[in-house]
Amino acid sequence: MQDCNTYNLDTAFNIVREKLAAVDIAVQCRKSGAKYSPDNVAIDYLNHNYRINISTAEVSLADSDQSVPLREQILILHYFTQAKGTPLTGRQITYRDLPGGLVYYPTFTKRTIEPLTGCFGKDAMNLLRAGKLFKARQGEFGNISLVIDAFPRVPVTVILWEGDDELAPQVNLLFDAVITDYLESEDVTTVCEAITWQLIKYTKKG
């Protein structure tokens, strides 16, 4: 018997597979920054290249036989099918500015901001080193900020104000205001969780 979570993921995959079948693939490639070939779509996500099989909607790594978790496949398909091609504005917003963001912000904080603060709060340079994992660019905020291209049209900025004996460290995550033209709020959480734990894992590995 399938558990509830597996059932929900299967349902979500079937829904987005139907969306993929209904969209104009070439148009969505232009809107999402993906590359089109007769049998599949090539798309970058967190510094890895993936292939979307147009017929089956299955997502695979381009340079590895390692299987892609279903949740991650759904996320990539959501981005591709929902992308509107809207240019970046340069205006930054927080998770609380997203639809439903105020309600889900405590959960978002627990899954992203708190772990990042615990790992990097007193070592900004460690965060800078970990950013190499995603070929991150340095931003202009805080003691250290990293701009990570989660998808071609979805930059995520990680900002750290380093703590000291008097002030507690602070971390925030910012998004270009057009992010809602590419991802739902729940997908933004999934992306930020992936960034968070990959940064932390990279640091512990080093």
* 50 token code pair: 């993936």
Query: Which residue, among 138, 113, 116, 115, has the nearest Cα to 128 in the 3D structure?
Result: 138
CATH number of 92-205: 3.30.310
Write the DSSP string, 65-115. Answer: -PPPPHHHHHHHHHHHHH---PPP---EE-GGGSTTHHHHHHHHIIIIIHH
Sign of CA dihedral 205, 131, 195, 42: negative
The pTM (predicted TM-score) of the whole model is 0.93
Element (H, E) at 134: none
The domain ranges of the chain are: 4-82, 92-205
Contact 23, 81 (CB under 8 A): yes
* Tens digit of pLDDT at every position of the chain (206 positions): 334 354 599 999 999 999 999 999 999 999 999 999 888 999 999 999 999 999 999 999 998 889 999 999 999 999 999 999 999 999 999 999 999 999 999 999 999 999 999 999 988 899 999 999 999 999 998 889 999 999 999 999 999 998 777 889 999 999 999 999 999 999 999 999 999 999 999 987 65
Tell me how far the alpha carbon of residue 4 is from its chain's centroid: 24
